[in-house]
Structure 1
Amino acid sequence: MLSFRLSPLLFAILVTIVLAWAGAAAQARKQLIAHRGASGYAPEHTAAAYRLAMEQHAEFVEPDLAVTKDGVLICLHDDALKRTTNAAEVFPQREPWLANDFTLEEIKRLDAGSWFKPAFAGQRIQTFQEAIDLVRGKAGLYPELKSPELYRSRHVDQVKLFVDVIRKNGLDKPESLKTTPVIIQSFDEEAVRRVAKELPSIPRVLLVERDGDVSEPRLRVIKTFATGVAPEKSLVAQHPEMVKQAHALGLTVTCWTFRADEKTTFASVRDEMAHFLYDLGIDALFTNNPDQFPRR
Structure 2
Amino acid sequence: MHARVAAVTTGALLGAAATFLMPVSEARAEARPSPAVVAHRGASAYAPENTLAAVDKAAEMEVAWVENDVQRTKDGELVVIHDSTLARTTNAAEIFPGRSPWKVQDFTAAEIARLDAGSWFGPGYAGARVPTLKQFVNRVEHHRQKLLLEIKNPQLYPGIEQQIVKVLGNEGWLDAHHLTSKLIVQSFSADSIRTVHSLKPAVRTGFLGTPAVADLPSYARFADLINPSHTTVTDAYVSAVHEVRGPHGRRLQTYVWTVDDAVTARRMAGYGVDGIITNKPDVVRDALPWG
The aligned counterpart of 1:66 is: 71
Q: CA deviation at 1:283?
A: 0.7
- 8 Å contact 1:67–1:74 — kept in the other structure? yes
Alignment of 1:30-69 (within 5 A): 30-69=35-74
- 8 Å contact 2:150–2:185 — kept in the other structure? yes
The aligned counterpart of 1:271 is: 263
The aligned counterpart of 2:4 is: none
Consecutive unaligned residues in structure 1, runs of 5 or more:
1-18, 260-268
The residue type equivalent to 1:150 in the other structure is: L
The residue type equivalent to 1:145 in the other structure is: I
Deviation per residue, 1:9-30 (Å, 9 max, x gap): xxxxxxxxxx9xx9898324x2
The residue type equivalent to 1:290 in the other structure is: P
The residue type equivalent to 2:221 in the other structure is: T
The aligned counterpart of 1:175 is: 177
The aligned counterpart of 1:197 is: 198
The aligned counterpart of 2:281 is: 290
Alignment of 1:216-231 (within 5 A): 216-231=213-228
The residue type equivalent to 1:70 in the other structure is: D
CA separation in 2, counterparts of 1:61 and 1:282?
A: 17
CA separation in 1, counterparts of 2:207 and 2:31?
A: 25
The aligned counterpart of 1:253 is: 254
The residue type equivalent to 1:173 in the other structure is: D
Q: CA deviation at 1:119?
A: 1.2
Pair 1:142 & 2:148 matched: yes
CA separation in 2, counterparts of 1:163 and 1:45?
A: 19
The residue type equivalent to 1:171 in the other structure is: W
Q: CA deviation at 1:275?
A: 1.3
CA separation in 1, counterparts of 2:223 and 2:51?
A: 29
Consecutive unaligned residues in structure 2, runs of 5 or more:
1-24, 245-250
What is the number of equivalent residue pairs in this alignment?
Answer: 254
CA separation in 2, counterparts of 1:25 and 1:219?
A: 18
TM-score by length of 2: 0.83
Provide the secondary structure at the position in 1 that maps to 2:90.
coil
Taking only the aligned residue pairs, the percentage that are identical comes to: 36
TM-score by length of 1: 0.82
- 8 Å contact 2:73–2:107 — kept in the other structure? yes
Provide the secondary structure at the position in 2 that maps to 1:80.
coil
Pair 1:158 & 2:160 matched: yes
Deviation per residue, 1:55-86 (Å, 9 max, x gap): 21222111200101111111100000000000
- 8 Å contact 1:208–1:230 — kept in the other structure? yes
CA separation in 1, counterparts of 2:141 and 2:75?
A: 25
